[in-house]
């Protein structure tokens, strides 16, 4: 699992959701108060990238809507009328 510093969490949540993201201080407090899974390495808080959906859910954030590919429009094909 890839662990990133908690300071990158705001940016990761912005990429994950279209909603307003908590500020860095609120996310730090969430890590300290065990609101979401996080761990310390040499006194620096980290989170696992795989836990991002769980972290977002802890703050009531939903993932971005999946973008559906555009369908090709089916135009009526006209056949040329040949004059005799």
Handedness of CA 5, 18, 53, 61 (dihedral sign): positive
Split at pLDDT 50, 70, 90, the class of 66 is confident
The confidence score (pLDDT) of residue 19 equals 94
Structural domain containing residue 14 = 3-58
Q: Which residue has the higher pLDDT, 34 or 81?
A: 34
| Number of domains within the chain | 1
With 60 as the cut, is the pLDDT of residue 82 above it? yes
Residue 10's pLDDT is what? 95
pTM for the full predicted model: 0.74
User: Residue 36: inside a domain, yes or no?
Assistant: yes
Residue 54 falls inside a structural domain: yes
Nearest to 52 by CA among 40, 64, 66: 64
pLDDT tens per residue across span 20-61: 999 999 999 999 999 999 999 999 999 999 999 999 999 999
């Amino acid at each position: 699992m890839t662990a990133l510093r908690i300071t990158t969490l705001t940016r990761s949540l912005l990429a994950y959701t279209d909603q307003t993201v908590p500020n860095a201080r609120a996310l730090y407090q969430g890590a300290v108060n065990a609101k979401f899974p996080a761990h310390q390495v040499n006194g620096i808080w980290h989170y696992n990238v795989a836990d991002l959906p769980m972290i977002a859910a802890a703050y009531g954030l939903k993932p971005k809507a999946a973008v559906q590919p555009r369908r090709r429009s089916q135009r009526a094909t006209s056949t040329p009328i040949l004059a005799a």
